[in-house]
Amino acid sequence: MPRMTTFRTLVVALIASAAIAFTASANAAKTPKLSQSERAVVQKIANYINSLTTLQGEFTQISPKGKVSSGIFYISKPGKLRFEYAPPNPFLIVSDGTWLTVQNRARSKADQYPLSKTPLRLMLSNNVDLFKQAIVRNVKDNDGILTIALEDRDQLVAGHLVLVFNDNTKSLQQWIVVDGQGRRTTVSLGRTVAGTKPDPKLFRVKVKDRSLSKVDR
């Protein structure tokens, strides 16, 4: 998969939050051995992810430079999602189950990637196994706020992901994407609603100027 711009890398990682993080370098240490209680925390978060068929709500994103963006999102498994940034951020991200489209609405241009070639295929599948599909680097439980740090085993892009799950409200609260240079993008979720079927039209996007990634050329 080609190297994407910093913003595109971050937004793709943003959506992948519900499941798998991007990997660290190939020289990363071996997977640490988890205690029984730590494994239980990881499994609890995996069970939550797998229990979802649809999810929608609002998000707030803070970039490594402190820039704040917000918007709304929709997820419908298997395969479909929409992350719509509010103005002045012009980006729209849509997966129709086959293609992941990152569209700049201000320029009427878009980049497209086969969903099957991105980490999103894991997040949008009906069943995720975090122990098999990710390297769990760290697990914390702070009064019901569960935090796990993950790396993808496929080594697609340098970096890792931190998921923050509120065990008291049984909801994914926040995630932090850390790229290969240590830059952090924080995304907080709010007003989330599960189980409501979104309009199928939300997962369709018209592309005037379609730029394919190298993986499908």
**How many angstroms separate the CA atoms of 134 and 136, rounded?**
6
H/E stretch holding 49 reads helix 36-51
Tens of pLDDT, residues 117-161: 776 776 788 888 888 888 888 999 999 999 998 876 665 556 678
pLDDT in tens, 156-179: 556 678 889 999 999 989 988 887
Place of tokens 């069970």: 47
Residue 172 CA to residue 9 CA, distance in Å, equals 21
**Does position 7 have pLDDT exceeding 50, yes or no?**
no
Residues 58, 82: Cα–Cα separation, whole Å: 12
For residue range 13-27, what is the model confidence (pLDDT) as tens digits? 454 443 333 323 333
CATH of 6-216, picked from 1.20.120.80, 2.50.20.10, 3.30.70.330, 1.10.540.10, is 2.50.20.10
107 pLDDT band (50/70/90 cuts)? confident
Q: How far apart are CA 107 and CA 125, in angstroms?
A: 31
pLDDT of residue 179: 77
| 4-14 mean pLDDT | 47
Query: Could you identify the residue written with the tokens 């997962």?
Result: 203
